[in-house]
Amino acid sequence: MTAPILTIEKLDLAIGGAPILRSVDMVVEAGKVHALVGESGSGKSMTALTTMQLLPHGANTTGTLRFGDEDLLTASEERMCALRGDDIGMVFQEPMTALNPVKTIGEQVAEGIRWHTGTNRPDAEQRAAIMLKRVGLPTTRFPLDRYPHELSGGQRQRVVIAIACALRPKLLIADEPTTALDVVLQAQILDLLRELVAEDGMGLVLISHDLGVVAGMADDITILRHGVVQEAGHAVDVLRRQTHPYTRQLAEASAHVPQWDGRAKPPEITALLDVQNLVKDYPGPRTGLFSRGAPFRAVDDVSFSVPPGRSVGLVGQSGCGKSTLARIVLALDKPTSGIVSFDGMETSRLDDHDPTMALARREMQVVFQDPYGSFNPRQTVERLVAEPLHLEEAPLSKSERRERIAFALDEVGMPADAMRRYPHEFSGGQRQRLAIARAIITRPKLVVCDEPVSALDVSIRAQILDLFAKLNDELGLAYLFITHDLTVARAITHEVMVMDHGRIVERGATADVLDNPQTEAAQRLVAAAPDLNRAIERRAKDTSGISSPFEARKHPSS
Amino acid sequence: MTDHLVAAEHEDWRLFLRKASANRSFQAGAIITLFIVIMAAVSLVWTPYDVSKLTIPDRLQGPSWAHWFGTDHFGRDIFSMIMEGSRNSIAVALIAVGIGIVIGVPIGCWAAAKRGWIDEVFMRTSDIIFAFPALLSAVMITAIFGPGAVNAIVAIGIFNIPVFARVARGAALSLWPREFILAARAAGKGPARITAEHILPNIANLLLVQGTIQFSLGILAEAGLSYVGLGAQPPATSWGRMLAEAQTMMAIAPQMAIAPGIAIIVTVLGLNLLGDGLRDLLDPKLRRER
């Protein structure tokens, strides 16, 4: 057993008097991946920030927090500045905001090197180039003078990792490093982190809510809930045996499949939504005052149909054109060519003022990914949920409106008095329920769902998936369900379409496509998708004989 | 159930008042602004002394119980002149801001909603307006159309239009791609309705802050125009005119400059506090916290 890099004992944290962490114990060893798992508000990010001593004002910590032999709780700010970025690196969730948009990637990697080692610029840049090459961005293809906006999300996350690892830290803290990425990029980033841990022998604290990711990566695991450690020990053992009720609850929620009568229903022959030879070009970048580069084809000759009451999944990597397709289906964007017809109305030909369009919009609604961004923060829930009601032909009286709103809220499991409140007073899951209430208030036939559960915790995600299933049963709603999460696609769709570079490359019954993918794009997605049970099986095989139940360390409080 | 929701609306008002009673900057701003408005209103019917009457023997007195802020070089009571002048200063600045908001905000919102060539035309036009030094152009306009309060208002107001158009456009542009706007479009609402229901309430706080800034700039611009003799014409007065007249007397009668200067500062401060307070009170996120 190697020496511990980070030792946390009986750590209590309170911010402004409110307890955040209670008696947390955790030991991170060199060359090991320690997963810190929990739902939002469980205190996992706060544990990371405590380790970095980057807590907000009014924070009060007691207990032990040792980095090697050094006590971090009493370390001076000066000392922490020397440690941060040098011996302790951190990778954040959102690669879009973790990089400074006005500095080149070379400068940003070299910055830390120069600051901590005092080397001159050319040396630092040379080291930066080596580091960027290690994370898969060789200078031949990605020169140091590239700016963050010239890179994709996955490439940016590589730069963030290069910054964190440039000085070969002893400890790397990665806070949800792949949550903002699609599954294929996620698998690549996780591979990269695993390599860095193996080669440099650093300790990695991997903060995640995704048990599938953790099962494939972690040596040790600590499961947090409401700031209290629920279970800790050897990752594969903990996840395989699932002795602690909360661990079992998390595992079940992450593989949750709703009880759903509509699943077995045979499809109808008629098409509710019919898309034919759809093409969408975006103008190319401006190359001169009057000239533009070649247009970018986001959707390339796509045809499909959705029968009434059927749930059709649309899966693919980010940037493959899923969301553009959704916007065209919803008539928020005009296609370059091709036909979209909805319930017999050719919506791609209609403009916004057409009365037929109002009819089509009433029957076709949308739920977005971000439960925070999808509401106007300045309006009450009553007004927000009632938004589509103006499409009704006959104007409603005030009491009729309120009745409709209350009814819609009831259907999504929210109390009627939610009407008077503002969106920020609700949790993410509740907001998503409100977004669904808004979508179903006009009794639509089709709801387009753009990643509606990917910003939610696993247990909340399970509840929202149940809600989608229930609404399909009760209202006969058809879904066009866009997701990059194959577990979700499996749980809630009858059929699935795989999209790649603007084209639909494969489609069929969900189980057939996901169990037996034919095309390269589909195979890539399926192979990259983290899966709890598969990962445990694989890991158990690898480590069989090494870990036995007797060796597994159990947390004293669990 | 409906009754109980109607009752809830009254409760919202009570909540607003309760929050207002806890918001110090709103209170201070409201009191100062109210005081100045009352002062301007009272000056219509009464001032301590008649400012159109010159009393040369009393000239250039320092502050006293008889003349709170002293007298000027014609023996006029400075406090009475501040009251009298507040009407012109406030009217010019307020109407100029009003012109900017009423014309500029719709232009900015329209440009943001339509994009394309309409946007380009408006924004390049505002670039051209910005390219002229505002005060010099105002001098030009008043020189052509004749000096006076009305022309000063128009001249200052014209230069407020692109300011508000820019602020409104920039803020609106950042809102248009947001998902709640997409959701509203998916609900079939047109650009005008979305702007009214979703864009304006979300950019109102920015406009409010810009409004207070432009108001103070308006008072200063009016002062500048009056200073060169193109604003309020004698016997009418304004704070800017008073400052201009004070300039030659600075060494012997500093009270002549200090009094209108303080009046301008207090007014601008009061409006800024009021703007800040209103912004916080109208933000639902801050409504229940704090």
Q: What is the pLDDT of residue A544?
A: 55
CB contact under 8 A, A366 and B5: no
* Cα gap A19→A9, rounded to integer Å: 16
Q: What does the pLDDT read at residue A557?
A: 42
Q: Which amino acid is at A256?
A: H
Q: What is the ipTM of this complex?
A: 0.71
Selected residue with higher pLDDT from A533 and B196? B196
pLDDT at B163: 92
Set of chain B residues whose Cβ sits within 8 Å of the Cβ of A352? 188, 190
How far is residue A475's CA from residue A373's CA, in Å, rounded to a whole number? 27
Q: With both helix axes pointing from N to C terminus, report the angle between B2-22 and B255-282 in degrees, rounded to the nearest 10.
A: 150
In whole angstroms, give the CA distance from residue A495 to residue B131. 59
Task: Give the type of residue at B198.
Answer: H
pLDDT of residue B285: 64
Closest CA to B52 of B27, B80, B90, B89: B80
Phi and psi torsions of B17, nearest 5°: -65, -40
- Contact of A331 with A360, CB cutoff 8 Å: yes
What does the alpha-carbon distance between residue A453 and residue A468 come to, in Å, rounded to a whole number?
11
Question: Are the beta carbons of B182 and A376 separated by less than 8 Å?
Answer: no
Q: How confident is the model at residue B142 (pLDDT cuts 50, 70, 90)?
A: confident
CB-closest option in B178, B183, B201 to A366: B183
Q: Give whole-number Cα distances, A130 to A125, A139, A173, A195, B258, in Å.
A: 9, 9, 21, 15, 66
Indicate which of B4, B5, B114, B189 best probes the interface with A, i.e. most A CBs within 10 Å of its own CB: B5
C-alpha to C-alpha distance for B80 and B74, rounded to whole angstroms: 13
Distance CA A548, CA A444 (A): 55
The reply to whether residue B183 touches residue A387, judged by beta carbons under 8 angstroms, is: yes
B185 vs A contacts (CB less than 8 Å): 332
Are A361 and B288 inside 8 Å of each other by CB? no
Task: Report if residue A462 sits inside a domain.
Answer: no
The secondary structure of residue B147, as a DSSP letter, is: S
Instruction: Count Cβ–Cβ pairs < 8 Å, chain A vs chain B.
Output: 85
Position B1 scores a pLDDT of 40
Q: What string of pLDDT tens digits covers the 558 residues of chain A?
A: 567 889 999 999 998 888 889 999 999 998 899 999 988 888 888 898 888 888 887 888 899 999 988 888 888 888 888 888 888 988 887 777 788 888 888 888 888 888 888 888 888 999 999 889 888 888 888 888 888 888 877 888 889 888 888 888 899 999 888 887 888 888 888 988 898 898 888 999 999 888 888 888 899 999 999 989 999 999 888 988 888 999 998 888 888 888 877 777 777 778 899 999 999 988 877 777 777 778 888 899 999 999 998 999 999 888 788 888 998 999 888 899 999 999 888 888 888 778 888 888 888 999 988 777 888 888 889 989 998 888 877 788 888 889 999 999 998 889 988 888 888 888 888 888 999 999 999 889 999 998 888 878 888 889 899 999 999 988 889 999 998 888 889 889 999 999 998 899 999 999 899 999 999 999 999 988 888 888 888 887 776 544 444 444 444 443
Cis, peptide link before residue A295, omega less than 30° from 0: no
Q: Give the separation between CA A67 and CA A495, rounded to whole angstroms.
A: 51
Q: Do A374 and B1 touch (CB under 8 A)?
A: no
Assigned CATH class of B2-288: mainly alpha
Distances in whole angstroms, Cα of residue A215 to Cα of each of A24, A33, A238, A240: 22, 11, 10, 9
Test A361 with B187 for CB contact under 8 angstroms.
yes
CA distance B11 to B1: 15
Closest-CA residue to B97 (of B148, B150, B149, B159): B159
Min CA distance, B257 vs chain A (Å)? 45
Out of B8, B183, B201, the one facing A378 most closely (by C-beta) is B201
Residues with Cβ within 8 Å of residue B133, at least 6 apart in sequence: none
Specify the higher pLDDT residue, B149 or B92: B92
Q: Tell me if B5 sits within 8 A of A421, measured CB to CB.
A: no
Q: Are B171 and B203 in contact (CB under 8 A)?
A: yes
Q: What is the DSSP string of B217-235?
A: HHHHHHHHHHHTT-SSPTT
Domain annotation covers residue A381: yes
pLDDT of residue A549: 40
Q: Which residues contact A535 (CB under 8 A, 6 or more apart)?
A: A212, A215, A216
B1/A398 CB distance under 8 A: no
Strand, helix or coil for residue A121: helix
Q: Is B14 exposed, middle or buried (0-12, 13-18, 19+ CB in 10 A)?
A: exposed
Which CA distances in Å does A144 have to A50, A129, A130, A152, B7?
A: 33, 7, 11, 15, 63
Query: Looking at beta carbons, which residues of chain B come within 8 Å of A480?
Result: none
Residues belonging to chain B with any Cβ–Cβ distance to chain A shorter than 8 Å: 1-2, 5, 8, 12, 178-180, 182-190, 197-198, 201-202, 282-285, 287-288
Task: Flag if B187 and A365 touch (Cβ within 8 Å).
Answer: yes
- Beta-carbon count within 10 A of B63 CB: 15
- Count of alpha carbons within 13 Å of A300, Cβ hemisphere only? 12
Task: Please give the radius of gyration of chain A, using alpha carbons only, rounded to the nearest integer.
Answer: 25
**Of A303-312, B109-118, B274-283, minimum mean pLDDT range:** B274-283
Q: pLDDT value at position B12? A: 64
CB contact under 8 A, B201 and A330: no
Residue with tokens 């690196």: A89
Q: Which residue of A333, A352, A365, A376 is the best one to mutate when testing the B interface, meaning the one whose CB has the most B CBs within 10 A? A: A376
Q: Which helix (H) or strand (E) holds A208?
A: strand A203-208
Q: Which of A366, A373, A416 sits opposite B186 (nearest CB)?
A: A366
Is the separation of the CB atoms in A345 and A524 below 8 Å?
no
Residue A32 CA to residue A543 CA, distance in Å, equals 14
Contact list, A377 vs chain B (CB under 8 Å): 202, 284-285
Indicate the residue of B1, B182, B202 with minimum beta-carbon distance to A406.
Answer: B1
How far B82 CA sits from the closest chain A CA (Å)?
41
Range of A421's domain?
377-443
What is the C-alpha to C-alpha distance for residues A384 and B187, in angstroms, rounded to an integer? 11
Chain B residues whose CB is inside 8 A of the A340 CB are none
* Two tokens, residue A349: 């030909």
The better pLDDT of the pair A212, B6 is held by A212
Instruction: Please identify which residue in the block is written with the tokens 């007014």.
Output: B267
Q: CA of A2: how far to CAs of A6, A27, A28, A159, B256, in Å? A: 12, 11, 10, 30, 82
Report how far apart, in Å, the C-alpha atoms of A163 and of each of A47, A110, A126, A132, A295 are: 21, 8, 14, 9, 34
Return the higher-pLDDT residue of B257 and B231.
B257
Q: Do B188 and A358 touch (CB under 8 A)?
A: yes
Inter-chain contact A361–B188, Cβ cutoff 8 Å?
yes
Q: Is residue A413 part of a domain?
A: yes
If one counts the domains in chain A, the total is 1
Rounded CA gap, A439 and A458, in Å? 22
User: Average per-residue pLDDT in chain B?
Assistant: 82
Q: Across the interface, do A388 and B188 touch by the CB < 8 Å criterion?
A: yes
Cα distance from A316 to chain B (closest Cα, Å)? Answer: 21
Please tell me the pTM assigned to this model. 0.78
Determine the distance in angstroms separating the CA of A252 from the nearest CA of chain B, rounded to an integer.
Answer: 31
> Which neighbouring-strand residues pair with A6?
A28, A67
Nearest to A332 among B5, B186, B197 (CB): B186
pLDDT tens-digit map of B151-180: 888 888 888 999 999 999 999 998 888 888
A18, two tokens: 């409110």
Higher pLDDT, B192 or B220: B192
In sequence order, what are the beta bridge partners of A306?
A273
- What is the rounded CA–CA span in Å between residue B247 and residue B223? 12
Q: Round to whole Å and give the CA distance between A404 and B275.
A: 38
Task: Quote the CA–CA distance of A229 and A245 in Å, as a whole number.
Answer: 13
Is B195's pLDDT higher than 80? Answer: yes
B83-98 per-position pLDDT tens digit: 888 888 888 888 999 9
Q: Which residues in A have their CB inside 8 Å of a CB on B?
A: 327, 330, 332, 352-353, 357-358, 361-362, 364-366, 368-370, 373-379, 382, 384, 387-388, 390-391, 398-399, 402, 406, 416, 419-420, 422, 424-425, 435, 438
Do A215 and A539 touch, CB atoms closer than 8 A?
A: yes
Give one DSSP letter per residue of B251-289, joined into a string. TT-THHHHHHHHHHHHHHHHHHHHHHHHHHHH-HHHHH-
